[in-house]
Structure 1
């Protein structure tokens, strides 16, 4: 059995669930050995329209809804979905994904025995959503640089893990789990990759893609970025050793340049933010902002 596990918070993903359910029903009709369940984990959503929409999920074949009374965070909700699931294989999908192929589930099913972990692909909308220029530009640069390709990810399998679209053998996931210190945006996939490498589990990267519909606004993406950097600093090792951003900050510290960098960062911080929140954000300034934010945290000049 494949358990399709989808964490959600204040997002109506009924179209995604219906598309997955349709593929699963068709596959089950053509292959008696195929079995599935779809479990949606609502991490205490507050948007009433989303809550109402998600309540309809339980009416679909082999679908059920887990509703948390308190928000437990990005990693913990995934671990909770694992605990209540029954499948031999666990397919985690982010709620802001969209199905773009007719054989998405079938491909995972056919490839299920090829590796301990199978990591699918992510593709972005062809048109830039208004007000979301920073995230869209960031994602497209990675795409154009080939960092989303199967060959690039296969060359560095543990570093390119993504929780957006990924399947685990049950016993593999159960032996590691997501690190529940990751309550906000980012780094649960990095920590999972580190653990998988330590344990010697195999990863297969494929081009079985989902479309990322959740290209968030400039302000939301910047807020998430800051939350991720705070998590990086708070969790510490082994994250810091695996972060290019942290390694750059530590070099500045060794060269006794961190104080100077922080001074200029604080001096120009508002100007940089204005650019990043505008219609034409600079990715170079985005890198400067992230480095400055982390340096300020390390120097105790920013609050966690």
Structure 2
């Protein structure tokens, strides 16, 4: 294959978030890629009419395509459908609430894959200098250190590139992970069996979501309730290495009861804690610890409430 024939596809799933998906598509379309053509594949995961109309504002350009699912299938299935529809030799996954940090985001992933990696991950940063952006930057540093220590499954599908052949050889995303959490770690483990996964620090995306403690706690509770048991069963060592084993409350009745109570208290206090953490009154390390403790309580509550529904489908 000559370099002129090479193609890279960026896949962006969207559900009820058409305006930001439109921004993401236009920013990706402006990427500067050498020796390859770029296509952007927006996967509308069963959104309502408003999002459909917003996506209709995309330019009439063959390098930007919208794939529409008739019904909401979940983030994993939507990404898989995008990969099936994509024509690229390299697939890049980015969430619709993100933007590439600069015009060379895709190129830096391509360079790292050309250097021998089967897949690559990169930084996720916030859009300003406030508390949540500092917190996300700190999370990216932790992921980077985890990669350096050999835990490549600490990455995120917010910012992920992979060779097409590797993606399909690994089986793609496990569509049993419909809710928030673990679908990216699961895929990274399976892809890591096929080759090395690299960290590309300067291939960065900007996360534009306006975070708050109530929303963060809801997501962590969702991850604990719907994805944790499946991931734990498939990869117990990784589950412990990522720190989830220490806060999992799916075992004894007393521990489950305590986790549910702690999670409820954390979620009831979330609006007040959010104001306290983001006010600037507390030193950043103290505010970050509040977020971590509350997040752990919400995740533990989710694991205590889990009923095993995510294990009904066979493990990949």
- Shorter-normalised TM-score: what interval? 0.7 to 0.9
Name 1:123's counterpart in structure 2: 125
Q: Distance in 2 between matches of 1:104 and 1:246?
A: 31
Highest RCO, 1 vs 2 (Cα 8 Å, sep ≥ 6)? 1
Whether the 8 Å CA contact 1:98–1:210 is kept in 2: the answer is: yes
Aligned pair count? 280
Helix, strand or coil for the counterpart of 1:237? helix
Note if contact 2:16-2:47 (Cα within 8 Å) is conserved in structure 1: yes
Q: Post-superposition shift, 1:148? A: 4.2
Structure 1 pair 4/252, CA: closer, same or farther in 2 (3 Å)?
A: closer
Equivalent residue for 1:275, pick from 269, 272, 276: 269
Which residue is equivalent to 1:302?
Answer: none
Structure 1 residues 155 and 36, CA gap change in structure 2 (3 angstroms):
same
Question: Contact 1:117/1:204 (CA < 8 Å) preserved in 2?
Answer: yes
Question: Where does the alignment leave 5 or more consecutive residues of structure 2 unmatched?
Answer: 1-6, 278-289, 309-316
For 1:34-72, what per-residue CA distance to the aligned partner results, in whole angstroms no more than 9, with x for missing partners?
Answer: 212111001011261x32221222513511101111011
Question: Where do 5+ consecutive residues of structure 1 fail to align?
Answer: 300-304
Match of 1:6 in 2: 12
Runs of 4+ in structure 1 over 6 Å off: none
1:152, distance to aligned residue in structure 2 (A): 4.2
Q: Which residue of 1 aligns with 2:208?
A: 213
CA contact (8 A) 2:29 2:38 kept: no
- The verdict on how the C-alpha distance between 1:263 and 1:98 changes in structure 2, with shifts beyond 3 A counting, is same
> Does the alignment pair 1:16 with 2:47?
no
8 Å Cα contact 1:91/1:168 also seen in 2: yes
Do the aligned partners of 2:9 and 2:87 also contact (CA within 8 Å) in 1? yes
Q: 1:262–1:136: structure 2 CA closer, same or farther, 3 Å change rule?
A: farther
TM-score (norm 1): 0.81
Match of 1:222 among 207, 212, 217: 217
- Measured at CA, do residues 248 and 113 of structure 1 come closer, stay the same or move farther in structure 2, by a change above 3 Å? same
Contact preservation (8 Å) 1:190, 1:239: no
Distance, in Å, in 2 between the alignment partners of 1:89 and 1:156 is: 23
Question: CA shift at 1:180, angstroms?
Answer: 0.7
**Which residue of the partner structure matches residue 102 of structure 2?**
101
